[in-house]
Amino acid sequence: MDIKKEFRKQFRPRPRASHKGDYGRIFILAGSRGLSGACYLASMAAFRSGAGLVTVGVPESLVPPLTKRLTEAMMKPLPETRQGTLSRSALQPIRNFLKTQDILAIGPGLSLNRQTQAVVRDTVLGSTKPVVLDADGLNAFKGQADLFRKCKVPVIVTPHAGEFVRLFGTPVPKGEKLRRQRAVDVAKKYRVIVVLKGYHTVVASPQGKVYVNKTGNPGMATGGSGDILTGMIAAMLGQGAAPFQAACFGVLIHGLAGDMAAKQKGEISMVASDILGALPSAFQQMIG
């Protein structure tokens, strides 16, 4: 499959009469006390990837500081625990608001708090909108991956090797061919789209489709890089890409932006916001 060709077919010039509602309403559940940067990176990545509207659902105490930084995104204050994480009482407001949205991205910076993890599981299992699951969202399903079979909508999981082991209880083998096969096996077994991050990220579908990405570099091994990918994939979904396509587009352009950032900053000095800053150029190159 020629991913660049597929991207250009999917993302044609925007009609002049279009409006923000045409490009996806993205609901991002992210952040907790001390981990608010994840909200910024994921939501800005969604915007830089073409999303029309982005709302960030966060523990209510995070709203004032985030509002100063996230001027484009809307905020959904949610009930929180004493530790500044989403509490059980946030579940119903989340479900109510999700009815008005197109895509759910959930996980970055949410914490390992037990109440929060329960909210994540119940939100994902009850979602009627496609889900992108990352970071602490993945941790919420540790030892419970069988629950994914109950999901009513497409779910894209985006683990790195360590998260893959915790989530699915199976190690990531060495060698590209074996790694690719393991991703496909897991995708089929649990009926999810797997984005196995790392050197030559693998995207696998429950139907056995597989894509191995060749963009990216070691400088992207830095905190926040995965949060950006989460926002990007959600934005691709919101603009009408099929789930497997959205995941492929996301990893390709994420890596391309990382390569551009590395040329400017060098691999050693790169930070996640450098990848974010390179997204406009990466998309321009993809469009051609």
CB count within 10 Å of CB 207 equals 12
261 φ/ψ angles, rounded to the nearest 5 degrees: -65, -40
**Would you say residue 288 has pLDDT above 90?**
no
Average pLDDT over residues 250-268: 98
Contacts of residue 16, defined as CB under 8 A and 6 or more positions apart, other chains included, come to: none
Tens digit of each residue's pLDDT (9 = 90 or more) over 11-54: 988 889 999 999 999 999 999 999 999 999 999 999 999 999 99
CA distance 253 to 278: 10
Angle at the Cα of 42 from the Cα atoms of 109 and 272, rounded to 5 degrees: 90
**Would you say residue 1 has pLDDT above 90?**
no
CA distance 189 to 201: 20
Spatial CA neighbour of 86 closest among 133, 54, 118, 50: 118
Q: What is the pLDDT of residue 236?
A: 98
Class at the top of the CATH hierarchy for domain 20-287: alpha beta
Question: How does DSSP assign 118-137, residue by residue?
Answer: HHHHHHHHH-SS-EEE-THH
Scanning the chain, the segments in alpha helix (DSSP H) are: 3-10, 37-48, 63-69, 91-98, 114-126, 136-139, 161-168, 176-190, 225-238, 243-265, 272-287
Q: What is the pLDDT of residue 256?
A: 98
Three-state secondary structure call for residue 108: coil
**Would you say residue 135 has pLDDT above 90?**
yes
Banded pLDDT at 144 (limits 50, 70, 90): very high
Q: What is the pLDDT of residue 102?
A: 98
CB count within 10 Å of CB 177 equals 9
Domain boundaries, the chain: 20-287
**Would you say residue 87 has pLDDT above 80?**
yes
State the residue for tokens 């060709």. Answer: 5
Q: What is the pLDDT of residue 193?
A: 98
Spatial CA neighbour of 187 closest among 203, 169, 167: 203
Reported pTM: 0.98
State the residue for tokens 């279009």. Answer: 18
Quick one: tokens of 109? 């910076």
Tens digit of each residue's pLDDT (9 = 90 or more) over 61-77: 999 999 999 999 999 99
Average model confidence (pLDDT) for the chain?
A: 96
CA distance 64 to 43: 16
- What is the radius of gyration, based on Cα positions, of the chain? 17
Tens digit of each residue's pLDDT (9 = 90 or more) over 198-224: 999 999 999 999 999 999 999 999 999
Spatial CA neighbour of 282 closest among 248, 258, 246: 258
234 neighbors 28 (Cβ within 8 angstroms): yes
CA distance 22 to 194: 27
